Homo-oligomer: A and B are copies of this chain.
């Protein structure tokens, strides 16, 4: 949580960011570790975790607050929602605009000082949908 203020752009930091930028998916820390490892075999998982945290704090990437067990990372720092497959945990962007007025609806109705909100859809991706209903009479 406590981090130095003066951040360096180390080789590791740069490669982690580069690899994440290539992704359309929303990889987990370990998946990013596997990708980075192809270019830097000696990098450690701990370094990946530390750098993802730093990059998120720098605002260069977004740490997704999703309901699954693993944390996931997104190079797209714009506000947007996600949809997660309940079966295989695949995460896509949800094609829906941000609900900007939502937080106003809560204003005055709660004792909390509202900071933000997060919306997540759950569903079945095409692959798992097929698997779940193999004898589905269309």
| Chain A residues engaging chain B, CB cutoff 8 angstroms | 65-67, 83, 85-86, 92, 94-96, 102-103, 105-106, 109-126, 129
Contacts and interface: CB of A to CB of B under 8 A. Distances in A.
* Chain A binding surface SS class: mixed
A121 to B, nearest CB: 5
A92 B121 contact: no
Nearest to A121: B117
A115 B123 contact: yes
A119 B110 CA distance: 16
A37 to B, nearest CB: 26
Contact of A106 (B94, B115, B125): B94
A135 to B, nearest CB: 16
